[in-house]
Structure 1
Amino acid sequence: MAGTVHRPGLDAQGFIAREGSLARVPDAFRPVVAAAGERLADVFGARLHSAYLYGSIPRGTARAGRSDLDLLLALREEPTDTDRAEARALGAALDEEFEQLDGHGTLLFSRARLLSDLERYDLGWFVACLCTPLLGEDLAAHLPRYRPGSLLARETNGDLALLLPRWRRRIAEAGDTEEARRPLVRFMSRHLVRTGFTLVMPRWNGWTSDLRKMAEAFARYYPQRAEQMRAAAALGREPTGDAAVLVSYVDDLGPWLAGEYARVHGVKAPRP
């Protein structure tokens, strides 16, 4: 239709566009990506179907000394404890070797699970839209295109109520230092901002992975919670180790957001 305005993150047909590419990797992180690709192939060999980058590095927004390396591996069979240990060791070695990195994380799933009907609007969407192919056949070729609708919102982040008890345990088990709490603040801040954004995503009708833009989109529809979400977005980028922040997440913002999410979009389909 003439005059139609498309939100950020969508293509001309209104589908969510894949947000990253190897061409966008900042120069400082190109040696990291090259080393990751070589070592993944060496470690996993024929077990590896395909490997993907996600996060700030393939989006081109990574900051040297501040950004982590995020990988997703699609294995030909269900991942084992050995597979996970090898992935952790590989990530830790890269993190130690390259001063550009500040942390690492690797997700491992079987090819069958990533392409399953149950995961089509969660992990499938994640691979197709938020992951950048690094090695192997791109699974996006077997997945649909996605619009920013309520089904996608429900299946991506409609499980916050289930996560909150685990978050409370992680907080209780963390060391009583700012250094121990800082990674939790960063992780939980990011998760809450993304959940707040996907809550309003169908109304906003677009996509972004920028935490500040996510918070502003949320603020348009929930002004009474706007400052909390803006603060969480700031802490997602520059975390502190403030214990009070974590308490506020699991006792106030998190429970409210989980309840509102269930009211608006429903609850994510149960996983085995």
Structure 2
Amino acid sequence: MTAKGLDHDGFIVREGSLSLVADEFAPVVDAARGRISEAFDRTRLHSAYLYGSVPRGTAVPGRSDLDLLLALRGGPSAADRADAAALETALDAGFAQINGVGVLLVGTDTLLSELERYDLGWMLACLCTPLLGEDLGEQLPRYRPSSLLARETNGDLGAALVRWRGLAAAATTDGQRRKLNRAVARRIVRTGFTLVMPRWSGWTSDLMESAEVFGGYYPEWAARMRLAAGIAVAPTADLAGLGLLLDELAPWLAAEYTAVHGEKTPRPASGSG
């Protein structure tokens, strides 16, 4: 690998590996593998993947969450979603090392589709570590840190803002507020980074580094982006900081993103699952 997460030809290097999983998280990964195999038989599950800080080897015990992507042979059903929710609950309750579990369910046809080539397909090929089954990443292309990739990954921030404000108003428990803080702040930081990614000519998933890279191009917004990164890394139940981001940084970021990269290609109303 060369600098900035690229190989010598300028393509994004797939991040993460089972060999990078820290010893503290190895039992969690083993349990995830076993529970996935028990809950989803081979008629439903094509393959399973880890992504996020655990396979990157940067997870912090007691603070980091566990992220899983399950590639299903068909579109996710109600039974699939129920089994995924039970999997999340069991893993989260069973291991103090993790603070939350997220299971993303996507059909293989969607992951390999032209529509998702530069969003979910890119995510699988570059950000996901194979855990079970045949790796779909081998069927996807290599990716450069381009404006097309920026547009298709985060070119829909404006639509997300409306949803986030509704969720913030509806959040009634500390757990809900903490989860919302983390999810929204992460998305804002990643959108800020991908806004400047083609100019920076590289890739990183590190949230603090992402905020600093962004701040180098938009110094007037650097402090707000650092605030977002801080919330993303160590979320609390206090929504005051999130309110500042939703009122100030995020609306500007959505408009600037559209001006620079354009809007993300619309998806069907049913979504990818």
- What's the TM-score, normalizing by structure 2? 0.95
Displacement of 1:174 after TM fit?
0.3
In structure 2, give the amino acid aligned to 1:28: E
SS at match of 2:237: coil
Q: Give the structure 2 partner of residue 60 of structure 1.
A: 57
Displacement of 1:179 after TM fit?
4.6
Q: Select which of 96, 102, 106 maps to 1:109.
A: 106
Counterpart-to-counterpart distance in 2, 1:87 and 1:182: 21
In structure 1, give the amino acid aligned to 2:230: A
Conservation of the 8 A alpha-carbon contact between 2:211 and 2:229: yes
Conservation of the 8 A alpha-carbon contact between 2:224 and 2:245: no
Q: Select which of 199, 203, 206 maps to 2:202.
A: 206
Q: Deviations over 1:109-146 (max 9, x none)?
A: 10000000000000000000000000001011110000
Counterpart-to-counterpart distance in 2, 1:144 and 1:62: 28
Displacement of 1:178 after TM fit?
4.6
Aligned pair count reads 267
Counterpart-to-counterpart distance in 2, 1:51 and 1:266: 32
Conservation of the 8 A alpha-carbon contact between 2:54 and 2:66: yes
SS at match of 2:163: helix
- What's the TM-score, normalizing by structure 1? 0.96
Q: What CA RMSD, in Å, does the superposition of the two structures yield over aligned residues?
A: 1.2
| Structure 2 unaligned residues grouped into runs of 5+ | 269-273
Conservation of the 8 A alpha-carbon contact between 1:7 and 1:207: no
Q: Give the structure 2 partner of residue 174 of structure 1.
A: 171
Report whether the alignment pairs 1:129 with 2:126: yes
Report whether the alignment pairs 1:94 with 2:91: yes
Conservation of the 8 A alpha-carbon contact between 2:227 and 2:241: no
Identity %: 62
Displacement of 1:91 after TM fit?
1.4
In structure 1, give the amino acid aligned to 2:192: G
Q: Give the structure 2 partner of residue 143 of structure 1.
A: 140
SS at match of 2:30: helix
| Structure 1 unaligned residues grouped into runs of 5+ | none
Q: Deviations over 1:187-222 (max 9, x none)?
A: 111110000000000000000011110001101100
Report whether the alignment pairs 1:255 with 2:251: yes
Counterpart-to-counterpart distance in 1, 2:95 and 2:240: 33
Q: Select which of 28, 31, 56 maps to 2:24.
A: 28
In structure 2, give the amino acid aligned to 1:148: P
Return structure 1 stretches of 4+ with deviation > 4 angstroms. Answer: none
In structure 2, give the amino acid aligned to 1:149: S
